[in-house]
Amino acid sequence: MPDSTHDAHCAPFVPLPLALIRRLGAATLVVALAGSFVPAAPALARTPPPKAVLDASAVAVPDRYSADTAQQIFAAGGNAVDAAVAIAFTLAVTYPDAGNIGGGGFMTLYVDGKPYFLDYRERAPQQATRDMYLDDKGNPVPGMSLVGFRAVAVPGTVDGMWEAQRRFGKLKWKQVLAPAIKYATDGFVVEPWLQKRAEYASKSFAGKTNFSVYFAGLKAGATFRQPELAQTLSRIASDGGREFYEGKTADLISSQMYGHGLLSKTDLVQYKAVWRQPVTADWNGYRIVTAPPPSSGGVGLIQLLKMKADLKPAFAGLDLNSSAYIHLVAQIEDRVFADRQQYMGDPDSYHVPVDKLIDDAYLAQRADEVTPDEVPGATPVKPGLGDSMPERAETTHFSVVDKWGNAVSNTYTLNGPFGSGVVVDNAGFALNDEMDDFVAKAGTPNQFGVTSGDVNTIAPGRRPLSSMTPTILLKDGKVSLVIGTPGGSRIFTSIFQVMTNLYDFGMPPADALAAMRFHHQLLPPKTIYWEPYHPITGELAGQLKGLGYTLEGQKFNGDVQMIRVEGTTPEPAADPRGAGVGRVFH
């Protein structure tokens, strides 16, 4: 592969006879390429470099190491896509419970004034079957889709990063991988939170995978080095992104999976990231650009925002996160999750009625069903289009804006903490457990408590449904907000609440992130989840219980990384619930 993603593969230059050149004329230059004459494009005047439209570039990222990486990339002249790809590979080293090359995700981009979306979600192996996680009685086997070899889907991260950087990056491929290789080679200092996550994960993996062989050294204050991962990243840097799928790394993956899991070398060779049309909608004077299926999050976010806008009279005068406010939002969420369960899946396998689900008239009709005096659970909430068919802390998100006005919102994941717990021997990275995002049996909840119908069952090559919602907001054709979060089914409800805090309640970014968040998702019914950062207690708890809700705690409700752009000034903000960093680069 060429050192630069912008180099062309050309046949050797063959000089032409002078007489032939004279006969063709000075206006046309002809070169010999693969045995035939091809007219070259006329010479173009040198294009001046694009002018900066913002005061600075900025990132909001999950850790300080990835922020340092972004600084290096911008200093070298890289753009938002270069920085995003470099951040992703760095997090695969320094944030290994969620940052990854063995998982997959989604990237929403705004480049040179145009929106794009890249789906590098994992796929089910060709040997996968609909009932592969069921016992002889037809019931799901606990843990089989979460831990070990059979939980692994075909990874997409490396091909996604390769596609994005090759299409839009300014720097050489080797340049954007260099910081990650350095962290893997020289090591990084382990933070206490990473040690805790490794200890938590190891309890699930004990005796079932080789996790401890590679990650037992994650001790707070220690310098953690990953020489095998450094070699893997160096191969990918030298040979290009397809090395992961066709080269030595692919051989290492398939050799380890042979006889244990379903993933094969053929699955890797056949994997390709997919460019899709982002879901877009107008809201509150802004243009939303967000994730299409196989994400349910983009549609869900738009539904939440638009239904709340339709219910403006009902929300008028209500205090943020009062019992009456939470009650109305919970009813909206019931309807969103009912639609998610019925209609959302892999668009390459089903027709997902996206346009109908975000149609203004449809959402106004659904909003009309919401009433302040509704008794939770009294009437089952059903999907709104009839019977037509069409994530956890261990996901991570980062947001990037460059001085030229380009933006990247990227969410990627291993699914559970450190994925399946299977680490590729002699390659040094963990593989995902993304097969759990399929429905082992229709109507049976996954690890996040959400269900799906037949649209999200297992089939060879199918991409599982996701809630990841990397989102960009535009104002008059310019980036105004870049936002996203991990959190499984909590992802788009968390983004919705932060955007509401920003635009409906006028909070500054830091306050919008710090405000209390809650979650409700249709099933289990009548249940409001609260977070340890802002527990629901006292009078508010009593009022919600009086309305008929059950209150349950949850360990995690998002780690939002966002950048708001006011005029020409980017304002990054990292969620106080995590270890994220917001940084501006002048």
pLDDT at 189 over 90: yes
The answer, yes or no, to whether residue 13 has pLDDT greater than 60, is no
CA 501-194-438 angle, 5° bins: 70
SS3 content of the chain, % helix, strand, coil (to 5): 35, 20, 45
* Mean pLDDT for all residues in the chain: 90
Nearest Cα neighbor of 355 from 364, 363, 365, 366 is 363
DSSP H or E segment with residue 85: helix 80-94
Q: What is the mean pLDDT of residues 249-272?
A: 97
Tokens coding 453? 């119908």
Q: How far, CA to CA in Å, does 389 sit from each of 51, 411, 445, 452, 455?
A: 48, 27, 19, 11, 7
Question: pLDDT by residue (tens digit) across 530-553?
Answer: 999 999 999 999 999 999 999 999
3-state secondary structure of 524: coil
Distances from the Cα of 435 to the Cαs of 132, 333, 379, 523, in angstroms?
10, 25, 33, 21
549-562 tens-digit pLDDT: 999 998 888 999 99
| Tokens linked to 237 | 């840097």
Asked if residue 74 has pLDDT above 80, the reply is yes
d(CA 255, CA 553): 42
Contact (CB, 8 A) for 376 and 548: yes
Q: What is the pLDDT of residues 440-458, one digit of tens each?
A: 887 666 655 665 567 899 9
Residue 271 CA to residue 183 CA, distance in Å, equals 28
Architecture of domain 294-392+469-585: Orthogonal Bundle (1.10)
What's the pLDDT at 447?
Answer: 59
Q: 168 and 113 in contact (C-beta within 8 Å)? A: no
Share of the chain above pLDDT 90, in %: 84
Active site residue 69: no
In which band, very low, low, confident or very high, does the pLDDT at 43 lie, cut at 50, 70 and 90? very low
Residue that is written with structure tokens 């799901």 in the block = 140
Q: What is the pTM of this model?
A: 0.90
Q: What is the DSSP string of 378-408?
A: SS----TTTT----BTTEEEEEEE-TTS-EE
For residues 184, 574, 158 and 150, what is the CA-based torsion angle, rounded to 10 degrees? 90
Domains of the chain by residue range: 1-44, 57-276+395-439, 294-392+469-585
Question: Which of 90, 108, 157, 395 does the annotation list as catalytic?
Answer: 395
Which tens digits make up the pLDDT trace of 281-331? 999 999 999 999 999 999 999 999 999 999 999 999 999 999 999 999 999
Mean pLDDT of 97-103: 98
> With 80 as the cut, is the pLDDT of residue 240 above it?
yes
Rounded mean pLDDT, 462-470:
96
SS3 43: coil
Long-range pairs, 509-516, Cβ under 8 A, ≥24: 509/562, 509/564, 509/571, 509/573, 510/573, 510/576, 512/573, 513/560, 513/562, 513/573, 513/574, 513/575, 513/576, 514/576, 515/320, 515/321, 516/321
pLDDT tens digits, 138-162: 999 999 999 999 999 999 999 999 9
* 384 band by pLDDT with thresholds 50, 70 and 90: confident
Polymer length of the chain? 586
SS (H, E, C) 417-439: CCCCCCECCCCCCECCCHHHHCE
pLDDT of residue 20: 37
Q: Is the pLDDT of residue 49 over 80?
A: no
CA 35/CA 38 separation, integer angstroms? 10
Helix (H, G, I), strand (E, B) or coil at 310: helix
CA 580 – CA 561 distance, rounded (Å): 7
